[in-house]
């Protein structure tokens, strides 16, 4: 069975060479251009689509590509730096970063195989790293948020499942770039770890939304009635959640 093939390439748009990722996807029927939250340009295309055709599609949509890349890069530039004193959101509160490099950590902790860590101490998130490189700090902090999400979001699933009369077969924590959560036909509910960075009521809305998909795998009036039975102000929560898309610090 064919699997997705990924290739990196560059395309000339105006006076700039723009890198992008070209993905040929089995059984895909249409071409899709997207720019993810990290500013990576992608072309997802049918299996027999060529690299030359991908470049042609990008040139035909050069205006949209340039505008979208510019907007995403502007948001990225506005992200807070991961340094001591920076505050990161945690549901209805926030944590103050305390970043420590290898030189500030005792030699016992700095054994050869030590990879760094992030741990919470009250309202402080202490990140001990072998370097102060942004990518390494981001990885350590994300791992911490994922662990917190596994505990908190799973508990919220347990809270709402009896009220809705449903039970997921499995709950997973993921890092989806374009959605807050999803529900599979096999009953797996997947929730984005970034929900730990939004107000608790918005995270709860996503939990309820995905659990309702266990009963209704669509967005029919019956689905929204089920959501509204537990979250009457779901429309407002959905608007507030959409407004945060792409504006979180991680």
Q: What CATH number has the domain bearing residue 212?
A: 3.30.2010.10
* Lowest-confidence pick of 126-130, 180-184, 211-215, 232-236: 126-130
Note whether residue 193 is domain-resident: yes
Same domain, 29 and 66: yes
The pTM of the full predicted model, rounded to 2 decimals, is 0.75
Mean pLDDT within 162-168: 95
Residue 98 has pLDDT above 60, yes or no: yes
Same domain, 27 and 57: yes
* Lowest-confidence pick of 2-6, 63-67, 108-112, 178-182: 108-112
Mean pLDDT within 102-107: 54
Same domain, 20 and 47: yes
Same domain, 200 and 175: yes
Note whether residue 119 is domain-resident: yes
Percent of the chain with pLDDT over 70: 93
Note whether residue 250 is domain-resident: no
Q: What is the pLDDT of residue 76?
A: 79
Same domain, 101 and 158: no
Note whether residue 215 is domain-resident: yes
Contact 248, 194 (CB under 8 A): yes
Residue 161 has pLDDT above 60, yes or no: yes
Same domain, 47 and 71: yes
Q: List, in order, residues 6 or more apart from 214 with CB less than 8 Å away.
A: 164, 166, 167, 168, 183, 187, 189
Note whether residue 40 is domain-resident: yes
Number of folded domains in the chain? 3
Same domain, 159 and 221: yes
Same domain, 62 and 116: no
Same domain, 185 and 200: yes
Per the structure, the complete domain to which residue 164 belongs is given by: 149-244
Q: What pLDDT band is residue 112 in, cutting at 50, 70 and 90?
A: very low
Q: What pLDDT band is residue 107 in, cutting at 50, 70 and 90?
A: very low
Note whether residue 82 is domain-resident: no
d(CA 158, CA 169): 12
Note whether residue 249 is domain-resident: no
Cα Rg of the chain (Å, integer): 21
């Amino acid at each position: 069975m064919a699997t997705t093939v990924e290739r990196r390439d560059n395309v000339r748009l105006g006076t700039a060479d723009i890198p992008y990722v070209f993905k040929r996807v089995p059984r895909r029927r249409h071409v899709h251009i997207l720019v993810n939250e990290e500013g990576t340009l992608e072309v997802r295309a049918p299996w027999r689509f060529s690299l030359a055709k991908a470049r042609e599609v990008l040139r035909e949509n050069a205006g949209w590509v340039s505008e979208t890349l510019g907007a995403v890069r502007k948001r990225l530039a506005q992200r807070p730096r991961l340094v001591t004193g920076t505050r990161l959101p945690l549901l209805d509160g926030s944590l103050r970063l305390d970043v420590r490099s290898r030189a500030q950590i005792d030699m016992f902790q700095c054994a050869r195989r030590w990879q760094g860590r992030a741990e919470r101490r009250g309202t402080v998130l202490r990140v001990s790293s072998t370097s102060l490189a942004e990518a390494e700090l981001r990885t350590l902090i994300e791992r911490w948020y994922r662990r917190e999400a596994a505990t908190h979001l799973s508990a919220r699933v347990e809270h709402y499942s009896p009220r809705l009369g449903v039970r997921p077969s499995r709950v997973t924590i993921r890092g989806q770039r374009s959605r807050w959560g999803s529900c599979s036909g096999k009953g797996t509910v997947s929730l984005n770890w970034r929900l730990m960075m939004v107000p608790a009521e918005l995270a709860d809305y996503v939990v309820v939304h995905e659990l309702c998909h266990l009963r209704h795998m669509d967005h029919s009036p019956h689905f929204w009635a089920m959501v509204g039975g537990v979250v009457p102000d779901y429309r407002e929560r959905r608007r507030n959640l959409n407004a945060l898309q792409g504006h979180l610090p991680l």
